[in-house]
A and B are shown apart, each in its own frame.
Chain A
């Protein structure tokens, strides 16, 4: 993108050089990411590795997934229900590499990312060819598939899962390791936030939104349908895998519960209820719901019921979630103010 600055006096226009690196950084995205990082790190250090700190770190792992879902489902309207499956892949992948093959954290994380890209490409290449409902239905089958596989496979630990997953950054005590892991997780989340926001505010993001609005029209305007669909799918899936690996690392263990049939729904709630097109809302949603699911006995056993009711309510009242409700509220207030100002003017006229 070139900025245009008119030459004063002569009336000619000379285009400026292409944006420098600090412009490409995109101030809004960068500052948001920075904000997330600062808030997260401060919170985790304050919690100092206690149980809440563990919950928050797990929540941050989920947040990496939900931020990806904001891009995938919220903005691009790609109704794929495969995030919990990729979380499972990331979590089990990291666990296997670290326990059975004795790899370090860095290697296993990188391997998880690379592996997720490969798997997402393979699955995505076929899956994104299918029209909307087929994609949705097919990806609904995936969690069932993975859950059965994982519970029956002794290699994957059946119901007990795999324990011994390494923290992202170990410390001398458990608490210190917990804090450090959390800090690393927050930094990863901040980078992801920056990435997602940057993309959505770029030309690619515009293409994705055009596709979401009307595929045929977008294609007619030159948007490469297949490439974008596949790209979005891979992006969301890789983030999900990364999030899964973070969760496994925070918990130290991965069990089949991560990929049971309500795992996907939980993710959907984390995204839809707070606001499916808002990155911060998705982060808050992930952490809050993760916290709720481990709080009191009553809430955690009945969480699916609340989730179901919440899902219905959100869809009925405001598909853009709580954020959407707030926006509607502000719109109404602003409109009232304008109306009052206009009425007042008319009276004095």
Chain B
């Protein structure tokens, strides 16, 4: 017997609570895709909060999406700190020249007040307007870059790695300042109406930083920062594998984990069961060329292996649907989730 239909908010919260809602929630993380939806350039789209509001509402309805995603682009935090962002066609804007080029720059860095930033104010405005529109029927997910991963944009990956390994004092000072910024930024989004914060921490993945180093750095930073965020968090590793660090990420008191298309589905389900809700793990790059058959196979595998008992939100594995993914693929994903994601799940889903 199928369950009574829930609204998106209850559907997502039930799954996060490790119970089965009416169906598996679909949380397509649509960000710059909104520009495509409105027929605008990426730069024009993100210049006004009303564009994001309109596109988010339109896309939620169009794809039966169970979340509103107020993520603009990662480099927005760099803009708030006085740095530059480079916009490109059909792709996410990227951080420009590094803000930090020497340890002295870290000492001189002043943590900005997030409420005084023109760029971040756009995000708050969009969040407030979206909350007014959807009330508590659709969850709103805000986004921050973790203090541990942000320096990749602040100073470039190479320089940051050298700082992390060979200059502990400057590293610790930068982390202190970034924690202050991140906490302020996350809490201001929650105040504006976000229901949860996605804590992007790609460097937490053993693909990026070996576990030993992570445990003495990013893990403690995540624990401290998440402890200061006044709402639920989802830790997202942006395509990086998460299985080897899942227990540690659970220890940081985050409620949701973004997992990779390279993580083993059975193993990650066993490791997460009743402990942390999973969000993922469709391969956003391959998705560009999926046909209907591949969509169905991927959705069925995911639901069948990780959907039982709740604790699954279906999404891509990077945290952003690429511009190049055809609309038809998103429709087919949505249809497949409607078709195969109804609880209680059929036992022989894979044979259908």
- A and B found bound together: no
